Amino acid sequence: MAARATLRLAARSVMGQVSDLADRVAEGALDARLSGVRSNDASCLLESHVHAIPDRIQKLSRATHRLSDTIAHELRTPLNRMLQKLSRIGGHEDLTAELKAEMRQAIRMFDSLLDIIHAEADQGTGGGPMPFELSAVAQAGRELYEPLAEDKGLIPKADIAPGLRVLRDRNLIAQMLSNLLDNANKYCAAATGLT
């Protein structure tokens, strides 16, 4: 009888820990794990299944980020190149100005969609500060805005240290960098350096 009672208490304890872990994972703490050493029994099997869930969510979130970053690079760069080429067309200033405005609007809408995708993916990772490579984000920003700078007659320059990693909210840093580069393109005079 005492052995059964002990077994019930142990089962309740394990279930309580699993429930607490599930709550933490649901709140975005994908690195949360059950603590303590388990014996090779049913609770050990349950633990491995429970730990597989946040691992899978993390993998899916990383895949979503990689895909959206690839899409961003593959689509925004050609749009910016087209904007640059439009400036070379003479004699149709009204039409080229209209096309440029529409393309810039498309790029802004595209950026907004990517922000939504990232935000939705981050709901599974808790969002907020996470380690990421700042150098890669800065390089992507440079590649995105370089054609616009050249289009305006600016001289873009970049000195980006490779491999720089930070613990911050990646989306907020990317948005800040985008705003800075956008403002620099808008307000710098032609033939000046844009660093």
Residues 133 and 183 in one domain: yes
The pLDDT of residue 79 is 79
Buried b (16+ CB within 10 A) or exposed e, 22-32: eebbeebebeb
Q: Same domain, yes or no, for 88 and 180? A: yes
The pairing of beta strand 130-133 with beta strand 165-168: antiparallel
Task: Based on the fold, state whether residues 102 and 189 are members of the same structural domain.
Answer: yes
- What is the predicted pLDDT for the residue at 6? 59
Instruction: With respect to residue 58, please indicate whether it lies within any of the assigned structural domains.
Output: no
Same domain, 73 and 167: yes
CA distances from 166 to 29, 144, 160, 169 (A): 19, 21, 14, 9
Q: Which domain holds residue 45?
A: 2-53
Please list the ranges in the chain whose pLDDT falls under 50: 125-126
For residues 47 and 82, state if they share a domain.
Answer: no
pLDDT at 4: 62
pLDDT of residue 142: 84
DSSP 8-state assignment for residue 189: P
Q: Where are the beta strands (DSSP E) in the chain?
A: 130-133, 155-156, 165-168, 193-194
28 and 83 both lie in a single domain: no
* Phi, psi for residue 36 in degrees, rounded to 5: 90, 165
State whether 74 and 42 are in the same domain: no
- In the chain, the number of structural domains is 2
Inside any domain, residue 171: yes
The per-residue pLDDT for 180 is 85
Q: How far, in Å, CA of 100 to CA of 85, rounded?
A: 10
pLDDT of amino acid 41: 63
What lies within 8 Å, CB to CB, of 76 at 6+ separation is 107, 110, 111, 144
CB atoms within 10 A of CB 1: 5
Domain presence at residue 59: no
Helix axis angle for 170-187 and 134-151, nearest 10°, is: 20
User: Which pTM was predicted?
Assistant: 0.42
